[in-house]
Amino acid sequence: MPQIPAHRSPSAVSQNPRRERLRFQDSALGMVSTRSFPAIVGTADMMLKSADVTLVGYEKIGSGHCTAIVRGRYPDVRLAVEEGAKTAEQFGQLVSQSVIPRPMPNLEVVFPLGSRLAELCQEQRGYSRLSNRAIGLLETRGFPAMVGAADAMLKAADVQLAAYETIGDGLCTAIVRGTVANVAVAIEAGMHEAERIGELHAVMVIPRLLEDLEKVLPVASYWLDQTEPLPVLMKTAQQEVQAKPLALPALEKVPVRIEEEVAEPQRIAEPLPDAIPDSLPSELD
């Protein structure tokens, strides 16, 4: 199977919609349905790696039912559907499978069977910093069990929580990314925690994803590198704004309280009498 260059941007699908429509014109259609999100991811991975087909996407219809949709030449699509069905049977989650050699063109207008689905999925989506890493999926029945399992996985190994997915019927899937060894250790720890809290439904570890599958898997917006617009290097007219003077109150209107000083009368000290001698001269003398 020819490999797509790894440096190709995920948004390249939407750059030429006409070319993508011509690519899928007169091509066969293959579908495999399961009752588990990890099972549909593993099924889609096996379909892509077993034949030269293109993964258009997956469709969720509720109650845990998910369908992987591929397009390509009839022999390739038939082989991909057979291998994908075998993988789903190993999980015990296979619901149905179908191959349409030449679907009518107007089906793409109503159903998500052509390039329009991939185009819509990639609008407003940037490059994920978790790409080209192994992926681990752990599905539980019940939200508390999934949160507890995700916490145990993050504490057990060097992995990152990429996103989570819900498909109805109480099924929730935590998605972690990292190296193969770390993902395997994290999934094992998460399985024990999920069984302790609630019900463990399915698990899946994929060492390396192909680009078609990488595009359609959910990724939290935190891990997406959005392109930033370049600054416009143009001189803009700058207008000087003069500061308004500070308004002060009118001094003539401000009442001023003046306190008059009243002079207090001062008491004048009386002169002391002269010293009286000890003995007065007698008149007889």
- In the chain, where the domains are located: 14-123, 125-226
Mean pLDDT, residues 65-77 = 92
Name which of 146, 225, 133 is nearest 187 in CA terms: 146
Pick the CATH number of 125-226 from 2.60.40.1190, 3.40.605.10, 3.30.70.1710, 2.120.10.30: 3.30.70.1710
Q: What is the pLDDT of residues 173-230, one digit of tens each?
A: 999 999 999 999 999 999 999 999 999 999 999 999 888 888 888 887 776 766 666 6
Q: What is the pLDDT of residues 28-67, one digit of tens each?
A: 899 999 999 999 999 999 999 999 998 888 889 888 999 9
Structure tokens at 114: 């052509």
pLDDT of residue 11: 37
Q: Quick check: pTM over 0.75?
A: no
Averaged pLDDT of the chain: 79
CB atoms near residue 237 (< 10 Å):
4
Q: What is the maximum span of the chain, computed from C-alpha positions, in angstroms?
A: 172
Name which of 100, 108, 88 is nearest 22 in CA terms: 108
Strand partners, 32: 68, 97
Which has more pLDDT, 112 or 23? Answer: 112
- CATH number of the 14-123 domain: 3.30.70.1710
pLDDT of residue 1: 38
Mean pLDDT, residues 132-143 = 93
Residue pointed to by tokens 């989570």? 164
Q: Is the pLDDT of residue 105 over 90?
A: no
pLDDT of residue 251: 64
Structure tokens at 272: 């002391």
pLDDT of residue 14: 42
- The angle formed by the CA atoms of residues 182, 185 and 186, to the nearest 5 degrees, is 85
- Please answer whether residues 186 and 128 qualify as being in contact, where contact means their C-beta atoms are separated by less than 8 angstroms: no
